[in-house]
Amino acid sequence: MGSRLSAEQTTAFHRDGYLSFRQPVFSTDEFDRLKAIFEENLAQYGEDNLDVMHFRDPRLLEFLIHDSVLDLVEPLIGPNIGLWSSHFISKSPRTGKATPWHEDSSYWDGRVSTMEGIVTVWLAIDPVFPENGSMGVIPGTHSNGFSQYKDVEDASKNIFPTEIAAVDESKAFYFTLDPNECSLHESRIIHGAKANTSEFRRAGYTMRYFPTTSKIMPERNQGHKVWLARGVDLAGNHYENV
């Protein structure tokens, strides 16, 4: 279809494992509708129950397979794109828990034939900045995806019970995003977020995609649905109808 990224941005993503996209992803009207859907689901389900909301709310598929998003993903993984997952993430003011340093790939091990090429678009719904718990990444750590983990010191203050054992936080880059802007990161990169200690909510929508050369393992994905977002399937995967 097209590309919203320059050659320099694409090169930087493959080198560093992440990219900050400081432009509107959707039109104003589209973003307003998406935010309204988020607020509706947040009120109904609460902060802890917003994973794969597109399974329950098919209105979200309009945004997940939107050309404005796929034109960000295609230059990174190619023209044949599957929708892997999505998740609304909301951290309340002053009480939002920390997200320990982790790799998405470590939680998806065995569910996809390879972790290489899975890309997350992290769309800001609220203003996002370090003080309200914006995501941080450790540049260039996307070559492995399976680090050693240890238990967190205080599970009550963290979203996950474990964290990567050794991280050089001095190398971290923390995103600052306005609503309707996004970051992109590769599934294997080390990333996390501090607790929200500000008076402002931090909400975003993660939209996750894979190249259809990757095989989704049916036996490890019982009940999990994927969609063909663009192009053709190249690995014999089963997709839901749009």
CATH number for the domain harbouring residue 83: 2.60.120.620
Residue 2 lies in a domain: no
Mean predicted lDDT score pLDDT of the chain? 96
Question: Rounded mean pLDDT of 225-236?
Answer: 98
Strand partners, 216: 112
pTM score, whole prediction: 0.96
pLDDT at 96 over 80: no
pLDDT at 66 over 60: yes
Residue 237 lies in a domain: no
Say whether 186 sits in a helix, a strand or coil.
strand
Residue 193 lies in a domain: yes
Question: Rounded mean pLDDT of 171-198?
Answer: 97
The total number of structural domains that make up the chain = 1
Owner of token pair 């470590």: 106
Owner of token pair 């750590």: 141
pLDDT at 20 over 90: yes
Owner of token pair 């509708």: 33
CA-CA distance, 5 to 114, in Å (whole number)? 24
Structural domain boundaries, residue 79: 7-230
pLDDT at 2 over 80: no
Question: Rounded mean pLDDT of 229-235?
Answer: 98
Measured over the CA atoms of residue 57, residue 59, residue 65 and residue 67, the dihedral's sign is: negative
Output the pLDDT for position 97.
Answer: 87
Residue 206 lies in a domain: yes
Q: Are 151 and 162 in contact (CB under 8 A)?
A: yes
Residue 75 lies in a domain: yes
Query: What are the pLDDT digits (tens) for 111-167?
Result: 999 999 999 999 999 999 999 999 999 999 999 999 999 999 998 889 899 999 999
Say which amino acid occupies 186: E
Output the pLDDT for position 95.
Answer: 80
Residue 235 lies in a domain: no
Strand partners, 163: 150
Output the pLDDT for position 1.
Answer: 56
Q: Are 137 and 204 in contact (CB under 8 A)?
A: no
Residue 93 lies in a domain: yes
Give kind and range of the element (H or E) at residue 101.
strand 99-102
Among 132, 139, 131, 147, which residue's Cα sits nearest to residue 173?
Answer: 139
Tokens of 208: 């996750």
CA-CA distance, 114 to 213, in Å (whole number)? 9
Q: Are 41 and 207 in contact (CB under 8 A)?
A: no
236: left (phi over 0), alpha (psi -120 to 50) or beta: left
